[in-house]
């Protein structure tokens, strides 16, 4: 009986995001660094906030932090990328959505390295609508930094983010949206 109730809750239609809907969330991040940074990977945590500008378009910002020993030959360093992206969201099932984003990244390296750089940021991911305005996310990110702080010709930094979020604001269910359209 509990399994049936869980399946019924998960089968609810996705909420149609309206302009002004806010989504906030937290995530775990795995980072794969450019070989010129002389370290391979790091694990960290982050937070994100997104504002729906239209039903399929959102402006999203995220900030994460990772402790990285040995980055660019410095013994104690932190890696803190800040991303600002315009994202396009497209449904692929009743509860699932694909996310594609493009924007900018500003990276701050703390500790012994103490530098910063900036570049172009891309994202490809999936959102899963959960009950009670919750959202699960898994994203792959790729940052291109044409003039990195470590002096290399350019840097490519990849990441994987796994997180949860909460929607706040004027969302309505897909069934209510169809009902309103039928009455017009």
Model confidence over 40-81: pLDDT tens digits? 899 999 999 999 999 999 999 999 999 998 887 888 889 999
Q: Which domain holds residue 169?
A: 16-183
Counts for the chain of helices (H) and strands (E), in that order: 2, 10
Contact yes or no for 144/154 (Cβ under 8 A): yes
- Indicate whether 6 belongs to any domain: no
- Indicate whether 3 belongs to any domain: no
- Indicate whether 39 belongs to any domain: yes
pTM summary value: 0.82
Question: What's the domain count of the chain?
Answer: 1
CATH number for the domain including 149? 2.40.160.20
Instruction: Report the candidate in 141, 144, 140 with the shortest Cα–Cα distance to residue 119.
Output: 144
pLDDT at residue 3 is higher than 50: no
pLDDT score, position 74: 83
């Amino acid at each position: 009986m509990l399994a049936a109730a869980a399946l019924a809750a998960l089968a609810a239609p996705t909420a149609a995001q309206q302009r002004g809907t806010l989504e906030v969330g937290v995530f775990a991040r795995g980072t794969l660094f450019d070989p010129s940074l002389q370290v391979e990977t790091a694990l960290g945590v982050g937070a994100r906030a997104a504002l729906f500008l239209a039903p399929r378009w959102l402006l999203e910002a995220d900030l994460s932090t990772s402790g990285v020993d040995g980055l660019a030959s410095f013994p104690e360093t932190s890696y803190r990328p800040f991303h600002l992206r315009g994202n396009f969201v497209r449904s692929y099932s009743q509860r699932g959505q694909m996310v594609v984003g493009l924007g900018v990244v500003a990276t701050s390296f703390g500790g012994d390295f103490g530098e910063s750089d900036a570049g172009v940021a891309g994202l490809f991911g999936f959102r899963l609508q959960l009950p009670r305005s919750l959202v699960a996310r898994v994203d792959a990110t790729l940052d291109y930094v044409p003039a990195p702080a470590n002096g290399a010709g350019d840097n490519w930094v990849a990441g994987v983010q796994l997180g949860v979020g909460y929607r706040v604001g004027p969302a309505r269910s897909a069934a209510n949206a169809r009902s309103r359209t039928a009455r017009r």
